[in-house]
Amino acid sequence: MSPSRSETDTDAPVDPLRPDDHADGDGSAIAQPALGVMGWARWAWRQLTSMRTALLLLLLLAVAAVPGSLFPQRSADPNGVIQWQRDNPEAYPIVDAIGLFDVYQSPWFSAIYLLLFASLIGCVTPRTKHHYKALRSQPPRTPVRLSRLDDYEERTVPAADPASQAREAVDVADRQLRRAGYRVRRYDGRGWLSVSAERGYLRETGNLVFHTALIGVLVSVGLGGGFSYTGQRVVVEGTTFVNALSDYSSFDAGRFIDGTGLAPYSLTLDEFQVTYQRPGTPGAGQAGDFSADVTVRIPGEEDRTESVIVNYPISVAGDRIHLLGNGYAPTITVRDAAGELVYTESQPFLPQDSNMTSLGIIKIPDGLPEQVGLVGFFYPTAGVLDSGAYTSIYGDVVNPLLTFNVYSGDLGIDDGTPRSVYTLETDGLTQHTGGQTGVDSIELTPGETAELPNGWGTVTWEIASPEDPVKRFASLQIQRDPTAGWVLAFSILAMLGLFAGLFVPRRRVWVKAHPTDDGVRLEYAGLARGEDPTLRKAVVDIADAHTEALTGVSDPSPQKERTDELPR
């Protein structure tokens, strides 16, 4: 083994000009200074408040919002979450634990949101201070050698009095540049006069406005999430919805809303209108216009009639009311064996296909020997498939038919567990008609009555009216967001700032005049901050306009531009 340097060269002379920690020195290893807690905190803050981090967080926030459109959200579609759970029972616990059904309220989405908020504030604050100082500063001094700049022009104009003509040339350039929106400052040197001009601070102003508006959007959305609410309600023709918490089918409120201070009003669905394309016409069977005609009642005001149309919500007492869906609501009456009324209601049946084949659930917890559940299918225009099963072949009521499968047993109503009125858990129930029972399903037409199994009683399909045997329902969404206007305003402001930041060039221009024996030699030069492919043309245009103002002739100099051979 060779002896180490320390063993062989201990008496070697030391170079006084070479530090001990040099690679060839005799000193110990380089000592890394310790940052400490405050040092690491400053480093982390600088990283967080860099523009690169802000852009990365903005992209990450957009990506994090994608699951909100792929998975049903409890706040907007609670029934969709229930259906997703039924269709994917094994994956549901994992997806729910991650928070994909409550994306916008999940901890990970909130963390990205808050980090972006802090990053933008940290970016904007120092840039605003720097920009304010730049706005108050004067244009820079004219370089001594403008010919070193790439975008350079040189012209010569004849003059009887070169000194006087040089001063006039600079005065004309001063006025022209001011009219073009430049900030101008005169600088003179030995043997020359000049004007220095700059413009394009609107570019940085636009960038700051854009980022400040993003902060405004984040604040508005954050506050709106706490003071807004969204609710859904299915309203059948002839019935009334009251804006009270107890009258909602589902209600999702912000953390500052308890449901006790809702605006007092009511809506009555007078009629739901829909048109269908007739058979034999293009798009046969497709639904056309939807319109829910409602009567709005607000205390202290006259009743008014409104129409809620898809994509055209109405405003009532600050709430926005949207039309989400529609369907049929057959009126069903159930009587016991003695003819006593047990149940009567217009029950909404949920559409299952484009021809309005609809599924409905009727639960009868009391009045019969056992709890009874009816699983019904409604066919507005009934047709028969090759398999013998019924289907609807047209969305409008032409040949209506209603079928029921009857179940009995514990419907799970009395155990206190919330149950959807649109589903029936058939596990553990006894099926009496349809399926594998060997007994045909109950079939009804409007006004017809059929017997229930085991002599329990009868079920009747009541005719709603001579004109329309079946009532329709409308699914309404009631939404309040007090910050929606602020979000829109900040979004527009952000777009304007973005356009200014993208399309306004930042540049500096100089015009210099030299009195000579041949006249006045004029120099024009420009310098851009960043890429500016139009700067060359701008310098030439300034030179042409300036010389034309001085002589009345465009480009009076016989010589070509020095930069003809330079890459543009």
CB 384 within 8 A of CB 345: no
Q: Is 393 helix (H, G, I), strand (E, B) or coil?
A: coil
**What does the pLDDT average to over 32-38?**
75
| Helix pair 107-136, 36-48: axis angle to 10 deg | 80
Residue 531 contacts by C-beta under 8 Å, 6 or more apart in sequence? Answer: none
**What does the pLDDT average to over 173-179?**
95
Q: What is the dihedral of CA 321, 324, 330, 334, to 10 degrees?
A: -80
Look at 20 and 298; give whichever has higher pLDDT: 298
Q: Does pLDDT of 501 surpass 90?
A: no
pLDDT score for 154:
93
β-bridge mates for residue 309, sequence order: 312
Cα 470 off chain centre by: 39
Q: Does pLDDT of 8 surpass 60?
A: no
Q: Does pLDDT of 281 surpass 90?
A: no
- At which residue do the structure tokens 């809506």 appear? 267
Instruction: Specify the range with the lowest mean pLDDT, choosing from 166-170, 256-260, 397-401, 439-443.
Output: 256-260
CB 49 within 8 A of CB 122: yes
- Report pLDDT digits (tens) over 119-162: 989 888 888 999 999 888 899 999 999 999 989 999 999 988 99
Q: Does pLDDT of 174 surpass 90?
A: yes
pLDDT score for 50:
86
**What does the pLDDT average to over 528-545?**
90
Residues of the chain above pLDDT 70, percent? 89
Look at 443 and 559; give whichever has higher pLDDT: 443
3-state SS of 313-337 is CEEECCEEEEEEEEEEECEEEEEEC
Q: Does pLDDT of 10 surpass 60?
A: no
Backbone φ, ψ for residue 155 (5° rounding): -135, 160
User: What is the rounded CA–CA span in Å between residue 36 and residue 43?
Assistant: 11
Instruction: Specify the range with the lowest mean pLDDT, choosing from 28-37, 230-239, 425-434.
Output: 28-37
Backbone φ, ψ for residue 449 (5° rounding): -120, 140
- Report pLDDT digits (tens) over 298-342: 999 999 999 999 889 999 999 999 998 899 999 999 999 999 999
Look at 330 and 76; give whichever has higher pLDDT: 330
Q: Does pLDDT of 60 surpass 70?
A: yes
pLDDT score for 81:
85
Which secondary-structure segment (H or E) carries 361? strand 358-364
The pLDDT mean for the chain works out to 86
User: What is the rounded CA–CA span in Å between residue 356 and residue 234?
Assistant: 17
pLDDT score for 404:
96
| Helix pair 107-136, 201-227: axis angle to 10 deg | 150
pLDDT score for 567:
34
pLDDT score for 1:
46
Cα Rg, the chain, nearest whole Å: 40
What the block records as the tokens of 318 is: 């600050």
**What does the pLDDT average to over 249-268?**
86
Give me the sheet containing 192-199, strands edge to edge: 151-157, 519-528, 507-516, 192-199, 183-189
Q: Is 288 helix (H, G, I), strand (E, B) or coil?
A: strand
User: What is the rounded CA–CA span in Å between residue 568 and residue 561?
Assistant: 13
Name the residue type at position 344.
T
- Report pLDDT digits (tens) over 337-394: 999 999 999 999 999 988 899 999 999 999 999 999 999 999 999 999 988 889 999 9
